[in-house]
Amino acid sequence: MNIYLALVLLPIGFYILIKGADLLVDGAVAISTRLGISPLIVGLTVVAMGTSAPEVAASITAAFKESGDMAIGNVFGSNIANLALVGGLCAIIRPISVKFTMIKRELPIMLIVALLLLPVFSNQYLGRPESALLLLTFAAVILMMVFYGLRDSRNKPQEVELIKDEVQATTSAKLKTFPKSILFVLLGLIALTGGAQLTIGSASSIGKMIGLNDAVIGCTILAIGTSLPELMTGLIAARKGHDDLSLGNIVGSNIFNTLLVIGAAGTAKPFAVSPRFSGVDFWIMIAVTVTFIVVAAIYKKIGKKAGVLLVCMYAAYMIYLFATSNPAA
């Protein structure tokens, strides 16, 4: 792809992402309302899996192309971008309320699964046994989140009714039927995936042209590109006041990236892992994760000041990556 075509396709990809995120948010919230479950569970599962689809595709493709650094860099960069860039920008637009159940359950799970990568990468190689373990852990985490989410919905019927009243004006009025809600979700996911692919392809071409190596392309251009669905979905959800959906999407996507994306890539084709991903880059990801959790636990929300802090952390991470980059081979 030449530079001129890349520059043309980049804004087109952004536009498709925005429209896809709008459809996905409306459809997902309507489904949760009609089923009587919290948008948080939909965000943690359906929406998070949908917005993580580009990461799965990109990392598996990178693994088959013998670029383990790009595959892992995509996950590390996406996880940091989800919390610091997506979470930070969403909080700047509108402070994100964090429920106690999220602080008690899903946020610690996100940190624990991230810490699992340290022993997995200890020998600087991702084989099929470790990958299978990550996939099994992923299945167990999803089942647990769905179980507790459904239990919470049954135990708090008044909260579910409040959720229905809250979204009635913005979503239900536009989505008259359940099949139409499903259609909106499917169209949103398709648009997000297609828009991300356009953006990733053009941005990666630009990165190669300016001489970035695979690890840095994975952590920056590829990670930002595959995080665009989370970013657009989060921004739209935050603007519409759906904090549970916005936060559930961010946290769920990080869990999916760590377990599903890496597990799927390693199962498809085992590969070597650069020492940086069990060193400085790993601890940067953990530091951002801990910062996000601590702020949420102390203040029960991610406010505008915390949002600015998170975005500044992401900017510092970008500076670090470009400062430590070697020319692409």
Residue pointed to by tokens 């200890």: 122
CA angle, 156 then 36 then 238, to 5°: 90
In one letter, which amino acid is 43?
A: G
Q: Please, which residues bridge with residue 161 across strands? A: none
Q: Is residue 189 part of a domain?
A: yes
pLDDT at residue 285, as a whole number = 96
Q: Which residues of 24-57 are buried (b: 16+ CB within 10 A; e: fewer)?
A: bbbbbbbbbbeeebbbbbbbbbbbbbbbbbbbbb
pLDDT at residue 14, as a whole number = 66
How many whole angstroms separate alpha carbon 209 and alpha carbon 187? 33
pLDDT at residue 232, as a whole number = 75
Q: Is residue 102 part of a domain?
A: yes
Which helix or strand (DSSP H or E) is residue 301 part of? strand 301-302
Q: Is residue 72 part of a domain?
A: yes
> Cα separations (Å) of 55 from 38, 114, 219?
26, 16, 12
pLDDT at residue 276, as a whole number = 87
How many whole angstroms separate alpha carbon 132 and alpha carbon 253? 19
Provide φ and ψ at 296, rounded to 5°: -65, -40
Q: Is residue 198 part of a domain?
A: yes
Q: Please, which residues bridge with residue 302 across strands? A: 96
Residues 77 and 222 sit within 8 Å (Cβ to Cβ): yes
Residues 130 and 273 sit within 8 Å (Cβ to Cβ): no
What is the domain extent for residue 110? Answer: 3-323
Provide the domain count of the chain: 1
The CATH number covering residue 94 comes to 1.20.1420.30
pLDDT at residue 169, as a whole number = 43
* Total Cβ atoms within 10 A of residue 183: 14
Q: What string of pLDDT tens digits covers the 329 residues of the chain?
A: 677 787 787 778 767 766 776 677 677 767 766 776 666 676 677 667 666 766 676 677 777 776 778 888 888 988 999 999 989 998 998 888 888 888 988 899 999 999 999 999 989 999 999 999 999 999 999 888 878 777 766 666 555 554 444 444 444 445 457 788 788 878 877 887 777 677 667 766 777 777 777 677 777 777 777 677 777 777 777 777 777 777 888 888 899 889 988 998 899 889 898 898 989 999 999 999 999 999 999 999 999 999 999 999 999 999 998 888 765 44
**Residue in 294, 229, 241, 233 with CA at minimum distance from that of residue 94:** 241
pLDDT at residue 166, as a whole number = 45
Q: Is residue 329 part of a domain?
A: no
Q: Is residue 34 part of a domain?
A: yes
pLDDT at residue 121, as a whole number = 92
Q: Is residue 125 part of a domain?
A: yes
pLDDT at residue 200, as a whole number = 65
Q: Is residue 328 part of a domain?
A: no
pLDDT at residue 68, as a whole number = 77
Q: Quote the radius of gyration of the chain (alpha carbons, Å).
A: 19
Look at the chain and count its residues.
329
